[in-house]
Amino acid sequence: MNVIQIVSFAIVATMMGIVLKQYKPEYALLISIFAGVVILTFAVSKISTIISLLESLINDIGINKEFFVILIKITGIAYLIEFASNVCKDAGESAIASKVELAGKILIVTLSVPIISTLIETITEVI
**Could you read off the pLDDT of 53-91 as tens digits, one per residue?**
888 888 888 777 888 889 889 998 998 999 899 888 888
Question: How far, rounded to the nearest angstrom, does the alpha carbon of residue 57 sit from its chain's CA centroid?
Answer: 23
- The residue range of the domain holding 28 is 1-46
36 and 95 inside one domain: no
User: What pLDDT does residue 92 have?
Assistant: 84
DSSP assigned state of 1: -
User: What pLDDT does residue 99 have?
Assistant: 95
Residue 114: inside a domain, yes or no? Answer: yes
Residue 45 has pLDDT above 90, yes or no: no
Residue 29 has pLDDT above 70, yes or no: yes
What's the domain count of the chain?
2
Instruction: Check residues 33 and 95 and name the one with the higher pLDDT.
Output: 95
68 and 127 inside one domain: yes
Question: What is the rounded CA–CA span in Å between residue 90 and residue 79?
Answer: 16
The band of 1, judged by pLDDT with boundaries at 50, 70 and 90, is low
